[in-house]
Structure 1
């Protein structure tokens, strides 16, 4: 007897989390087989496809691409990961999060295909990716923007051939899967490139291997600082300017004739939760590696506050906590360490040990990011500011805590409750 399929999104997600023996299982053979059965490899997914890989800056670049494309009148689909609060955040169709029914239909299509022949075991991320691609294929947009989850060459997103490949940055992260050799990490991320199709290099400090892969494929290279640069006459989008310039270059290479007014409108309105997002005294950023932490420190240093800068830090156990702490320490006056839960969890006590080893002042240890936020909120002075960082889980939980404790009618977009982002 066939097992009844779940009927709610939460039930589907619980099923997917338990379905594969490991959470991350890099490789395209299984995913490509199911994608072939689903018909995803037979026809174009969209009018144009831009795939974005990189250690940091992927989410910002995707958000900028979406905003710019929509400002130019294009229909869009974006696939990103992970999510902050709701799984639905991962798939956006014409600027709106996919509803539960759309996601469930995608999961059902994947389940049917993976059992149509020899059963294929897929990870949570692989099913989510294939389900999102199927949903996009049901209403092919002018532009599909796909964010790589991890690496590039062996990531499930890479079953789709992009028209334009973007590599934002290369730094150490996910060392257990990608190693610590930046040249090798660069080759993995450059694995999204295709012969003869444009490759956009979004950093001036990429390892040489990224360009070497492009040149070996005969992919035309458009590098930041060489083929393009940021135009200072454009509005600052509040996201890294290198990523904004990269998005403009990639969109142009995807065949869009850029219009100055549409670009200005998109850059003025773009918003990406969890990236230098200010809610009153609180700055929330999902940065979780030393490269991202260095960027955060630079932004905070550029706009020093009048009071203390306190950090609420919670990180997964496989992340470089000492490196993140070292990058942020020059701009932080005191720390609250919080525990995360799950198989990759790191405790507040372990984080506090790393902080104290570097001579940092630990104000409190909390059982969760939400409890840390509550402890801090009762002790903040008017001129203090709080940096919340270390993980998507950290930022997501604190965002929910802030929303539940906001004044009636107050949101993170309330100008009266926002600090100007540094």
Structure 2
């Protein structure tokens, strides 16, 4: 009998022959057995799909809704340090006990005849949906995985569906045709339910998909907008539409330290979910919202999970210049199915010295390969290491007080560093 969360997570890894197996037939059958498709899991459900920006958009929807007194639940993946991060209730991670009970429910339903094989992600999604459904939520916010239309989360019908951005990523599964990727991501839209388009650079297929099923579309730059531009740290204004189609404006909003496009998208989604937005509560939420691993500062270190060129370009725009005389280091570790050249090119103008680290596993990429790519693109590699922690240890001997370190390239890179004590340069005596 499995009793601990660790035991259940190990068990999940043995349930299916492959890690990613997109499709809804198996997961829908188990969800039906669990009763998850009989009634809504919350009074309002918001789903968030896209290449980049899902996590920050979800985090801001959650913070904004809670600031307005609503009971919220979220589902995200992957996690950084604890599996419990994937499911939150009113801003708090789900307990081991709650998750274990959820996995027991999944397993009981899975083993009914005919037995169903589930991937780790599918079983985790069903567990999360069960946890949320038990919690009497006002709003459930669900992050859709890489599959979009065929992602396990898409068994749930959303009241409001969001597509944040579309860019090249997971090419092994999604291909390189942005229009087709857009259609797949837009598979979360539902007939007659609002579809929020959170980027002005989405492929035409996203809007076309909404139109084809008569889902009313709300696009950034037309139905809703913001005044932030490229300004960093300054107050901004949001303009959008209520559920009834009335115009709404919120002025003097604080910079949340996350993409303003995503903040504006979060506000529009909540307005369409029927939330009466109040500027003081919105401001409070934006001032306090946090998201681990997204431009997260730990002393001299900035940790960001960005792993494709689109994310790296945003990071490069927002990364501050080190104090006078300081160097901008980058510690980078990436998986082998990511566009390393594109990420490196985006960061090169900001980085003076690189430390490359190996990520293990079948999708891992060696530090030597990263170093070769950086050198060929004109960058300066200081050293290589066999893990993110080993790379941080090498930097410990080199950091000056004025230096800054960007650690990026993968969730795995950031997760390992967050679990260690990052070296900081001692202030120089005067």
Structures share fold, TM-score greater than 0.5: yes
Match of 2:143 in 1: 147
Note if 1:344 corresponds to 2:363. Answer: yes
Q: Once the two structures are superposed, what CA deviation does each residue of 1:186-243 show, in whole Å capped at 9, x if it has no partner?
A: 0010000000000000000000000000001111111101011125120000000000
Q: Once the two structures are superposed, what CA deviation does each residue of 1:152-173 show, in whole Å capped at 9, x if it has no partner?
A: 1000000000000000000000
Determine which of 10, 21, 28 is the counterpart of 2:24: 28
Contact 1:373–1:401 (8 Å) recurs in 2: no
Tell me the distance in 1 between the aligned counterparts of 2:321 and 2:71: 37
Tell me the distance in 2 between the aligned counterparts of 1:151 and 1:385: 36
Note if 1:397 corresponds to 2:407. Answer: no
Note if 1:251 corresponds to 2:247. Answer: no
Ranges in structure 1 where 5+ consecutive residues have no aligned partner: 408-415, 417-422
Contact 1:314–1:391 (8 Å) recurs in 2: yes
Tell me the distance in 1 between the aligned counterparts of 2:92 and 2:210: 34
Tell me the distance in 2 between the aligned counterparts of 1:198 and 1:326: 37
Match of 2:197 in 1: 201
By how many angstroms is 1:342 displaced? 1.5
Tell me the distance in 2 between the aligned counterparts of 1:406 and 1:359: 28
Tell me the distance in 2 between the aligned counterparts of 1:111 and 1:65: 31
Contact 1:25–1:123 (8 Å) recurs in 2: yes
Q: Once the two structures are superposed, what CA deviation does each residue of 1:276-309 show, in whole Å capped at 9, x if it has no partner?
A: 1111110000000011001111112x64543111
Note if 1:385 corresponds to 2:371. Answer: no
Contact 1:28–1:154 (8 Å) recurs in 2: yes
- Normalising to structure 1: TM-score of the pair? 0.93
Tell me the distance in 1 between the aligned counterparts of 2:385 and 2:15: 32
Tell me the distance in 1 between the aligned counterparts of 2:77 and 2:145: 6
Note if 1:122 corresponds to 2:141. Answer: no
Determine which of 126, 131, 134 is the counterpart of 2:127: 131
Secondary structure (helix, strand or coil) at the match of 2:218 reads: strand
Determine which of 180, 183, 208 is the counterpart of 1:184: 180
Q: Once the two structures are superposed, what CA deviation does each residue of 1:282-337 show, in whole Å capped at 9, x if it has no partner?
A: 0000000011001111112x645431111000011111111111111111101000
Root-mean-square deviation (Å) = 1.4
Mean Cα displacement is larger for which, 227-236 or 34-43?
227-236
Match of 2:69 in 1: 73
Match of 2:50 in 1: 54
Match of 1:16 in 2: 12
Match of 1:167 in 2: 163
Mean Cα displacement is larger for which, 204-213 or 15-24?
15-24
Contact 2:148–2:154 (8 Å) recurs in 1: yes
Secondary structure (helix, strand or coil) at the match of 1:145 reads: strand
Tell me the distance in 2 between the aligned counterparts of 1:207 and 1:153: 16
Which aligned runs of 4 or more in structure 1 are off by greater than 3 angstroms?
Answer: 302-305
Match of 2:210 in 1: 214
Tell me the distance in 1 between the aligned counterparts of 2:274 and 2:261: 21
Contact 2:300–2:424 (8 Å) recurs in 1: no
By how many angstroms is 1:48 displaced? 0.1
Tell me the distance in 2 between the aligned counterparts of 1:271 and 1:400: 18
> Alpha carbons of 1:303 and 1:226: their partners in 2 closer, same or farther (altered >3 Å)?
farther
- Normalising to structure 2: TM-score of the pair? 0.92
By how many angstroms is 1:43 displaced? 0.8
Determine which of 360, 367, 386 is the counterpart of 2:379: 360
Contact 1:309–1:386 (8 Å) recurs in 2: yes
Match of 1:420 in 2: none
Determine which of 273, 292, 299 is the counterpart of 1:273: 292
Tell me the distance in 2 between the aligned counterparts of 1:299 and 1:218: 38
How many residues of Structure 1 are paired with residues of Structure 2 in the alignment?
Answer: 402
Determine which of 362, 366, 369 is the counterpart of 2:388: 369
Q: Once the two structures are superposed, what CA deviation does each residue of 1:7-47 show, in whole Å capped at 9, x if it has no partner?
A: 11111111111221100000001110111111000011100
Ranges in structure 2 where 5+ consecutive residues have no aligned partner: 228-235, 237-251
Contact 1:310–1:387 (8 Å) recurs in 2: yes
Secondary structure (helix, strand or coil) at the match of 2:117 reads: coil
Contact 1:20–1:124 (8 Å) recurs in 2: yes
Contact 2:322–2:404 (8 Å) recurs in 1: no
Mean Cα displacement is larger for which, 17-26 or 237-246?
17-26
